[in-house]
Amino acid sequence: MLINTDFVNYAPNSSGSEASNVVASLIATGYDVTPFSDLSAASIAQVTEINRALVVPELEVAAATSLFDSLGPAAVSEIRAFVQGGGVLVTMADAGGDGIALVNALFGWRTSESATTSSTYSQTDGVHAAAFRTAPLSLAAVNRTLAVSVASLPPGGTAIYANGDAAAVTA
């Protein structure tokens, strides 16, 4: 999980630190967390080699374009190869659209935020990933849940939890 304080709010003893809260939540639910701050291709390769998911918390400190530019072409290639090889990239949406902007920059997509909001997102018929087969059938929208427009997903993109055109979880 990215903890580079040039981009994310990471302060382990602060309840207002989104990145720290994500680390604590993942650990509390039984996941191992490998924190990293080095954005070099070698570091990204090392982190993605030993983890099934690469987590980028809310980019509260700097914009997605700044993170993308800091990664450099070789690190971007490592992330693309990781995802294309079956790895999971988790980004956190924010009101500024940085989570979506990062994914768009990394993969050349044009996904957009949904104008629709919902209090509940239901698992879709398109769920085939083993990771979601035993997951809850619906998710309640929590504070500041922002959704991606299903219509803007790239070819092969799948809404995992959605309500109409608003997808809270995609693959």
Q: Express each pLDDT in 8-65 by its tens digit.
A: 999 998 888 989 999 999 999 999 999 999 999 999 999 999 999 999 999 999 999 9
Reported as a pLDDT band with limits 50, 70 and 90, residue 73 is very high
Tell how strand 88-91 and strand 53-56 pair up: parallel
101 shares its domain with 20 = yes
With CA atoms as reference, report the closest residue to 103 among 66, 61, 68, 52: 68
Whole domain around residue 56: which residue ranges?
A: 1-109
Decide: 111 and 104 in contact? Cβ < 8 Å.
yes
73 shares its domain with 130 = no
Return the residue matching tokens 């849940």.
145
Distance CA 16, CA 7 (A): 15
32 shares its domain with 68 = yes
pLDDT for 77 equals 98
36 shares its domain with 57 = yes
83 shares its domain with 14 = yes
Burial 33-56 (b: 16+ CB within 10 A, else e): eeebeebebeebbebbeebebbbb
pLDDT for 96 equals 85
8 shares its domain with 66 = yes
pLDDT for 4 equals 96
Distance CA 143, CA 169 (A): 15
pLDDT for 130 equals 62
Residue 12 sits in a domain of what CATH number? Answer: 3.40.50
What pTM did the predictor assign? 0.89
86 shares its domain with 147 = no
pLDDT, tens digit, for every residue of 77-126? 999 999 999 999 999 888 888 999 999 999 999 999 987 777 899 998 87
Reported as a pLDDT band with limits 50, 70 and 90, residue 129 is low
